[in-house]
Amino acid sequence: MSTSSSIGTTCQAASHAQPKSLAQQLIAATSKKARSAAILMLADGTVFYGRACGASGEVTGEVCFNTSLEGYFEVITDPSYAGQIVTMTYPQIGNYGVNVADTQMAPQYPQMYCGNLSPALRGLVVHDMCETPSNWRSEMSLPEYLEERNIVAIEGIDTRALVRHLRDNGSQKGILSTIDLDEKSLAAKLAEAPELVGTNLVQTVSCKEAYSYSYGRSMKSRAFAVQEPAPARRNVVVYDCGIKRGILDGLVNAGCAPTLVPWNTPASEVLKLQPDGVFLSNGPGDPDAVDATYSQVKKLLGKVPVFGICLGHQMISLACGGSIEKLKYGHRGGNQPVMNLLSGRVEVTAQNHGFNLVFPSLGELISEESGGVSKHPVSGDLRFWSERRIAPVVRNKRFGRIRLTHVNLNDGTCEGIQLLDAKAFSVQYHPEASPGPTDAHYLFTAFMRLMDGEEDYLNIDISKDRLAGWVFGSEEKEAHNA
């Protein structure tokens, strides 16, 4: 069995995971308390030892990492993390506790969702778990929440070494256990665990039947920071592929009245509702496995305005005949720079995805609409276009002209497209800031403008729009507009 060179330091944690009697007494007298040993093993044989800091148990899933400095509770409750063991790169997690109203699971989850009240992720990995939070909104500690919701978690490992390993070798299957510490036994179990690629995880987090959404307890608990939403003036059907509640709130804030439908709802049923627009939500797993959604999107494009976020972006891409690739370790965190090629603005964005559209697969470039360029960059790096401030257009066999609108400035991957001959656009990232920056709030406004029939709906001054809906931004916004 192979073991990475970084494990020498993490193996030292084994002695802490099984302390001597005196050490146990000392730990029991602190806020940390006495915790049982835990182990994380990756598919390539890399092993990390630590301490349990959540529920007792054993889980398998894809091990990935999130680079957000805050918002751990929103990350943990994001349905898009179904099937994954999430590593938080920030050293201490849980310091401001948990307010259950901040959950990103949709409000109808107990009645209409598959499963139970537990978050969809498989497990959590942190360096240091805070047992004694300090925050006036906190209702319980994070370890208490994890135990209550049966989420297995590990602390005390070198998360820097783990993240470096995943960056070098890619995200991979892992097994996290507090009940079996035998490496041979764990390796055998891990070999039998299913792969993420090819698995439809959307069906595990989508609603079972249609329902309407409106503000609930979550928004009331944040009235000190969030203004009342705009009056609803557009009826929007939402394909629920595991939607975050923050995205639903973003739609409501912009003036939408959302009706959520299951992930495999036929397009004919959606059109019977006579929506002003259709929204395609975020969601977990391999987009190629969600054919029951993108096959219906193909029937909706050109008939009704469509906006897609994250998995929804991939659904539009697949409906257009595009190819999706699995990224080496994905984009997960609240600090990803993206350029809007139409406005030239750079947004700091929140992201959570492991798959990405291969933009050239949508069609050949239209030279006269792509700055005179007739061939896609050989490297595949889309920063070619951001450096030249060009939003290139391809000719798609199914839906006419499609424009590249957003590019990731870290690695040059596609972050957004716009169908020019059908009313539709999509982005790969999360604009609702749950958690994350507010730079991309303008996309909900853009959706309203698309439904209103505006041509240049994506060209919005984000320095103004990012303050919309926030109480703390009112004075700054008034000063900006003066």
Instruction: Give the residue carrying structure tokens 């193909």.
Output: 298
Residue 30 has pLDDT above 80, yes or no: no
Buried/exposed code over 208-228 (b: 16+ C-beta within 10 A; e: otherwise): eebbebeeeebbeeeeeebee
pLDDT of residue 482: 52
Query: What is the DSSP code string of 441-479?
Result: GHHHHHHHHHHTT-TTTT---HHHHTTTTBGGGHHHHHH
Under the banding of pLDDT at 50, 70 and 90, the label for residue 218 is low
Among candidate residues 376, 406, 430, 441, the one labeled active-site is 430
* 186 and 39 Cβ atoms separated by less than 8 Å: yes
Under the banding of pLDDT at 50, 70 and 90, the label for residue 474 is low
pLDDT of residue 34: 74
Give the model confidence (pLDDT) of 333-346 as tens digits. Answer: 999 999 999 999 99
pLDDT of residue 108: 56
Mean pLDDT value of segment 233-259: 94
Q: Where do the domains of the chain lie?
A: 7-192, 202-481
Tell me whether residue 310 is one of the annotated catalytic residues. yes
Mean pLDDT value of segment 285-299: 97
Binding residues for L-glutamine: 80, 283, 285, 311, 314, 352, 354-355
Amino acid (1-letter code) at residue 408: N
Give the model confidence (pLDDT) of 95-115 as tens digits. Answer: 999 999 888 987 654 443 333
* 358 and 325 Cβ atoms separated by less than 8 Å: yes
Tell me the CATH architecture of domain 7-192: 3-Layer(bba) Sandwich (3.50)
pLDDT of residue 221: 64
Give the model confidence (pLDDT) of 391-417 as tens digits. Answer: 999 999 999 999 999 999 999 999 999
Under the banding of pLDDT at 50, 70 and 90, the label for residue 275 is very high
Q: What span, in angstroms and rounded, lies between the C-alpha atoms of 315 and 446?
A: 19
Mean pLDDT value of segment 154-168: 97
Pair of tokens at residue 342: 């139409």
CA dihedral of 440, 445, 450, 455, whole degrees rounded to 10 = -80
Residue 306 has pLDDT above 70, yes or no: yes
Q: Distance between the two ends of the chain, CA-based, in angstroms?
A: 66
Position with higher pLDDT, 347 vs 467:
347
Mean pLDDT value of segment 379-392: 97
pLDDT of residue 11: 42
Task: Tell me which of 23-27, 202-206, 231-235, 261-265 is least confident.
Answer: 23-27
Residue 45 per-residue DSSP state: S
* 345 and 326 Cβ atoms separated by less than 8 Å: no
* Consecutive H or E run containing 28: helix 21-28
Give the whole-number percent of the chain exceeding pLDDT 90: 77
pLDDT of residue 475: 52
Q: What span, in angstroms and rounded, lies between the C-alpha atoms of 373 and 233?
A: 41
Residue 479 has pLDDT above 60, yes or no: no
Other residues' Cβ atoms within 10 Å of the Cβ of residue 158: 19
Give the model confidence (pLDDT) of 414-471 as tens digits. Answer: 999 999 999 999 999 999 988 888 899 999 999 999 999 999 999 888 877 776 667 7
Residue 195 per-residue DSSP state: P
Residues 6+ apart with CB under 8 A from 116: 110
Pair of tokens at residue 415: 């972050």
Report the chain's mean pLDDT, rounded to a whole number: 89
Position with higher pLDDT, 225 vs 167:
167
| Cα 299 to Cα 238, 268, 278, distances in angstroms | 15, 9, 12
Residue 271 has pLDDT above 80, yes or no: yes
Q: What span, in angstroms and rounded, lies between the C-alpha atoms of 89 and 65?
A: 7
pLDDT of residue 19: 53
My answer on whether omega of the bond before 133 falls inside 30° of 0, hence cis, is no
Backbone angles phi, psi at 217, to 5 degrees: -60, -35
Binding residues: 80, 283, 285, 311, 314, 352, 354-355
pLDDT of residue 168: 97
Q: Would 7-192 and 202-481 be classified into the same CATH topology?
A: no
Pair of tokens at residue 380: 């595949």
pTM of the predicted structure, to 2 decimals: 0.90
pLDDT of residue 216: 54
Give the whole-number percent of the chain exceeding pLDDT 70: 88
pLDDT of residue 167: 97
Tell me whether residue 430 is one of the annotated catalytic residues. yes
Backbone angles phi, psi at 350, to 5 degrees: -95, 135
Mean pLDDT value of segment 219-234: 76
Give the model confidence (pLDDT) of 119-139 as tens digits. Answer: 999 999 999 999 999 999 999
* 74 and 104 Cβ atoms separated by less than 8 Å: yes
Other residues' Cβ atoms within 10 Å of the Cβ of residue 379: 9
Tell me the CATH architecture of domain 202-481: 3-Layer(aba) Sandwich (3.40)
Pair of tokens at residue 284: 């977990």
Q: What span, in angstroms and rounded, lies between the C-alpha atoms of 232 and 62?
A: 40
Under the banding of pLDDT at 50, 70 and 90, the label for residue 35 is confident
Residues 6+ apart with CB under 8 A from 267: 296, 297, 299, 300
* 3-state DSSP of 211-263: EECCCCHHHHCCCCCECCCCCCCEEEEEEECCCCHHHHHHHHHHCEEEEEEEC
Tell me whether residue 313 is one of the annotated catalytic residues. no
Q: What pairs with residue 172 in β-bridges?
A: 63
Among candidate residues 310, 331, 414, 415, the one labeled active-site is 310
